[in-house]
Structure 1
């Protein structure tokens, strides 16, 4: 049987605008425009047997604004950036330029004391491989979870993670069976009229 997965990135929030690392399971709230855009897209996603969310405020709020009731999936939490949590990428880059350079160049590196990109990619790959094939799974997840899933389904090397952009409130569709996946990238959900 074919596994079908739709991954939806969260709507716009203040931390996304600022490139701020948010707390692992908390995150930040959607901003007014992000919430309005998500509400306008309610009903536009395919029906699903399972609805899951990354355990962050912005993912839970995006799901709710889309009219979805989902269960938190701990394995879909965003990248743990350890001591960099709460700071922007610019702030960390100014304070620890060598550490940021290593982190961006080496997917096995976690100079912040959190999780490496390689570990995130492995976690998401295990989740994908364990999904049941009975009906579609729809998950509202952090952008880095979408990136990790794309790395897995295309068999990309882990450094490709940083080359993938995931815009807010887009749907990425995956389908696969027998260890082979297909990918339909980043469809924008309907914009408000």
Structure 2
């Protein structure tokens, strides 16, 4: 399974995975900041950005708070059947951070303190206790566009990938 974004579809495709979109893995809802760069947000709403980065309940953009994302991600992790065996999910960096917050039983305030490099994160649940490990990986560039992924009108990356995670 994968997040519904183009980025995650292409990552899964590059890895040769046959995945289906999972709405619970969708990226943080950036509200009116959607499609903006961090520079745009700094220029237009510096106080809102500051609040968002320091208060996990803040929604200056009108979208989803970090705390809401952490709850949604925890619900998705809890919904995976315990007898499912290995489950592979291609997810957005914000969802990976939220997964780590849940796995570490950390407060939502820890969200922005977690560095999420391009890597493979392995989460394991045993009796309700989580462990995790990471390993760096390489993803080969896509040689041709997969037929089941719709391109943006400009033929480039969708706008959901414009707001660069901090």
The TM-score, its normalising length taken from structure 1, stands at 0.70
Q: Out of 137, 146, 149, which is 1:189 matched to?
A: 137
How far apart in 2 are the matches of 1:69 and 1:132? 20
Q: Out of 99, 103, 106, which is 1:149 matched to?
A: 99
Higher normalized strand content (fraction of residues):
1
**CA deviation after TM superposition for structure 1 residue 177, in Å:** 2.2
1:91 aligns with 2:40: yes
How far apart in 2 are the matches of 1:191 and 1:126? 29
How far apart in 2 are the matches of 1:140 and 1:184? 16
CA contact (8 A) 2:14 2:139 kept: no
1:59 aligns with 2:59: no
**CA deviation after TM superposition for structure 1 residue 157, in Å:** 1.0
Structure 1 unaligned regions, length at least 5 = 1-51
What is the SS of the residue equivalent to 1:139? coil
How far apart in 2 are the matches of 1:183 and 1:160? 16
How far apart in 2 are the matches of 1:132 and 1:80? 26
What is the SS of the residue equivalent to 1:129? helix
What is the SS of the residue equivalent to 2:111? helix
Q: Which residue of 2 aligns with 1:139?
A: 89
Q: Which residue of 2 aligns with 1:176?
A: 125
Q: Which residue of 2 aligns with 1:8?
A: none
4+ runs of 1 displaced by more than 4 Å? none
How far apart in 2 are the matches of 1:67 and 1:92? 36
* Count of matched residue pairs: 139
**CA deviation after TM superposition for structure 1 residue 191, in Å:** 7.0
The TM-score, its normalising length taken from structure 2, stands at 0.81
How far apart in 2 are the matches of 1:73 and 1:191? 21
1:164 aligns with 2:117: no
What is the SS of the residue equivalent to 1:63? helix
Q: Which residue of 1 aligns with 2:147?
A: none
How far apart in 1 are the matches of 2:138 and 2:52? 35
**CA deviation after TM superposition for structure 1 residue 190, in Å:** 4.0
